[in-house]
Amino acid sequence: MNGTARIDVSREQVLRYRVAAHGFDRASPTPGVLALGVQDTPHGSAPVALAARGASSGGLERVWSFRGAPHLHRRTELAALAGALWPLDDADATARISTSAIKEGAKLGLAAFRVTAEAFRRTVVEPLGKGEVSTAVSAAVPESLTFWCTPCGARHISGLLFQQAGLFGSVRVGAERGKTVLSPLGSPFPVPEAAGTQDLVRAYLRFLGPATRAEVAAFLGTRPTAIRPVWPEGLVEVSVDGASAWLPESEVEALRGAPRADAGTVRLLPPGDPFLQARDRSLLLPEKDRQKELWRAIGGPGAVLAGSEIVGTWRARASGRRVEVTVTGFDALSASVRRALETEAQTVAEVRGAKETLLRVE
C-alpha cells in the first residue's frame, strides 16, 4: 500500500465501475474478467455468462478451480492458475479443506493437496467417471482424508479436497449423458508450487473491488490471515458510503470516471456469474429478502441486470425445441427493460441451442 489519501465514493459509482470492468458493453470477445474464470454452476451456465459479455467459450477449458467449483478458464493459462491457487502454506491449506468430515486429515496441510494431486495423476490417464476416480483416489490417500459413508458402505475422500485438488492433478471436468467425466488435460503440468497468488488477489480487486481482505479471502476459500503475505502493494483505500475497502491505484480513475449505465441496457446473468461472485452482497443488493431469493444455496435463479442495478431474477426451462425464460421483477419493470428482455432471452436460447424462445415477465 502507499500513502495515497483515501477517496470517497458512492455505491452507485462502484456498481458503474464494475459493470464497465466486466465488459457488459460487449466491446471485446475476450473480456478481462476471464482472469477470474467463469463459474459453471449449474452445468451450462458459464456460456450464458460469457454471452452476456458478447463472448463465447472457444479456447476455454472446464476445470475445478476456485473453492473446488467448476469454472471455465483460458486453456493457455491453466498451469499459471494452478500455481496461483496452490495454498501458500500449511495453515492456508488446512483452512481450505477444514471440515468436520476430515478434521484430523485437514491438519496435514499442503501434504493433503500434494498426495491427492499425485493420486489424480496416477488415476486419470483416460476419461473416467467421477465416481470411479473418487474410489481410486480415496484408496490412495491417507485414511484421515476420507470419511465413512454409511449408504455406500465405503470410505470417500472429502469432496472439498477432491475437487480443489483436481486442477493440481492436471484434470479437466467434462460431462457425458448427465454424468461428470474426468480426463487428463491436453497440456499437463507438474504438481505446482505457490506462485502468482498476488495476481489473483489483484484481479479480484480489479473486477470486484473495491473490496476488503476478508472478501478476497472468502472468494479464495481461505482465511484473511492466509493471504496477508500476498496482499498487493500499490492499493488505494476507498470509502464506499463510509465503509473502507481497497482498489488498485491503477483503477482509481476508472472508478471515478465510470460512465452511467443506461437502465435500458439489460443482461441476464446466470447463477454463478462473475458479477455475482462479489462477497459484498449487501452492496450489490441492499434488501436482505432479495439477497435470500437470489443467492440460494441450491437451485438459485439468475439475476436481471438493468444498467448497473439488479432489478429481478430469471429462470429458464427447456421445453422441446423451445426455451422458456421467466423473469420476476423486484418492482414493476419499465417498458425499455421489457423490450430489451426479448433480445436477451433470445440470446439465452441460442446459447442453449434452442430454436425458439418464450419470454414471461411476472
Q: Is the pLDDT of residue 130 over 80?
A: yes
Check: CB of residue 211 under 8 Å from CB of residue 278.
Answer: yes
Residue with cell 427447456: 318
- Which among 2, 57, 12 is positioned nearest to 31, based on CA atoms? 57
State the pLDDT at residue 162.
Answer: 98
CA angle at residue 318 from 316 to 323, to 5 degrees? 65
Report phi then psi at 230, rounded to 5.
-110, 15
Q: Are 286 and 279 in contact (CB under 8 A)?
A: no
Instruction: State which amino acid sits at residue 109.
Output: G
- Residues 325 and 315 sit within 8 Å (Cβ to Cβ): yes
Render pLDDT for 53-78 as a digit per residue (tens, 0 to 9): 999 999 999 999 999 999 999 999 99
Q: Sort residue 259 into left (φ over 0), alpha (ψ -120 to 50) or beta.
A: beta
Please name the residue that has the C-alpha cell 497440456. Answer: 187
Question: How high is the pLDDT of residue 1?
Answer: 47
- Alpha helices, H only, the chain: 11-21, 46-51, 78-85, 90-97, 110-123, 130-140, 159-164, 197-208, 213-220, 252-256, 281-284, 288-294, 335-351
Question: What is the average pLDDT score of the chain?
Answer: 96
Q: How many helices (H) and strands (E) does the chain have?
A: 13, 16
Q: Which strands make up the sheet holding 309-319, listed edge to edge?
A: 266-269, 302-306, 309-319, 322-329, 356-361
pLDDT tens-digit series, residues 291-339: 999 999 899 999 999 999 999 999 999 988 899 999 999 999 999 999 9
Phi-psi region of 59 (alpha: psi -120 to 50; beta: other; left: phi over 0): left
At 5-29, the pLDDT tens digits run: 789 999 999 999 999 999 999 999 9
- Express each pLDDT in 188-226 by its tens digit: 999 999 999 999 999 999 999 999 999 999 999 999 999
Quickly list DSSP for 294-336.
HS-SSS--EEEEETTEEEEEEEEEEETTEEEEEEEESSPPPHH
What is the per-residue pLDDT across 163-190, written as a single tens digit (0 to 9) for each? 999 999 999 999 998 899 999 999 999 9
* Residue 198 C-alpha from the chain's centroid: 17
d(Cα 232, Cα 201) in Å, to the nearest integer? 7
What pLDDT is recorded for position 291? Answer: 97
DSSP 262: P
